[in-house]
Chains A and B, each alone.
Chain A
Amino acid sequence: DGGITQSPKYLFRKEGQNVTLSCEQNLNHDAMYWYRQDPGQGLRLIYYSQIVNDFQKGDIAEGYSVSREKKESFPLTVTSAQKNPTAFYLCASSPQGGLSTDTQYFGPGTRLTVL
C-alpha cells in the first residue's frame, strides 16, 4: 500500500539526548515536511524539502536538523538544543515542492516525550 510511515509511534527521551524520528514515503512525492503540534495548537512547520539533497528551514527550525539523501526518506533529529521538545511530530509529503497548492498527506505521527 502507498503511504507515509513514521516510527516510532511513541518515543521517550532523557534531557540532553539527541533523537531521530523516521519518515518514509512510497508515494513518489517530491516534497516532504516536518511539523510539530502542541496541545490546543495548530501545526507549525519545522523543515521542508522540495527535492532530494535540498531542504529549507520552516518557522521553528531551531534545535532541529534534517537530511534528504533519498527521495523517500526525510528523518528529523531533535537535538539537545531544542528547549521544549515534548510534542506530537507529523511528517507530510506532497507531489510537488515549494509549499504549493498540492494536498499534503500526513504520516501517523510520533509522540515525543522528554523525561
Chain B
Amino acid sequence: RKEVEQDPGPFNVPEGATVAFNCTYSNSASQSFFWYRQDCRKEPKLLMSVYSSGNEDGRFTAQLNRASQYISLLIRDSKLSDSATYLCVVIGFMDTGRRALTFGSGTRLQVQP
C-alpha cells in the first residue's frame, strides 16, 4: 500500500459545481497535512494547511479525519481557473525516526464551461 494515495482522476465538472477529493495516508503517526495545487508543467504551490478542526479559505475547505486516516478538499462554485492537479502532502516519522514529507501523486481536476 502506498504511504499516501489519491484518486488520479480526472474529475470533470461543470463550472459552478462542488467537487471533493480525498487523500488517504497509511502512517497513523502522521503529524501535518497540506494541499498543494500544481498547474500543468509548473511547480506545486501551497493551497492550504489541513487541521483537525478543519479550515476554510473562500471556496476551499480542507478537513482531516484521523480516525479513518484521510484528508479531504472541497471546492465550491468551481471556476475554470480551478483546473489543475491537487497534491496532498503528509508529514510524519519514518521507522528510522527521521521526519518524512510524502507527496501524493495528485488528483486532476478539469472544470468545464
Contacts and interface: CB of A to CB of B under 8 A. Distances in A.
Interface of A: 35, 40-45, 88, 90, 98-101, 103-109, 111
Q: Is the interface of A mostly helix, strand, loop or mixed?
A: loop
A12 to B, nearest CB: 16
Interface residues of B, number: 23
Contact of B45 (A41, A99, A106): A106
Interface string B73-113: 00000000000000100010000001111111110000000
A59 B49 CA distance: 24
A71 B76 CA distance: 41
A98 B102 CA distance: 14
B12 interface: no
Contact of B99 (A40, A100, A103, A108): A100
Interface of B: 4, 8, 31-32, 34, 41-46, 49, 87, 91, 98-106
17 contacts: A35-B103, A42-B87, A42-B102, A98-B99, A99-B100, A100-B99, A101-B32, A101-B91, A103-B46, A103-B49, A105-B46, A106-B43, A107-B43, A108-B42, A108-B43, A109-B42, A111-B41
A109 B43 contact: yes
B88 to A, nearest CB: 9
Contacts of B43: 90, 106-109
A99 B91 contact: yes
Contact of A40 (B32, B34, B46, B105): B105
Contact of A42 (B42, B45, B103): B103
A24 to B, nearest CB: 15
A42 to B, nearest CB: 4
A115 B106 CA distance: 28
Nearest to A41: B105
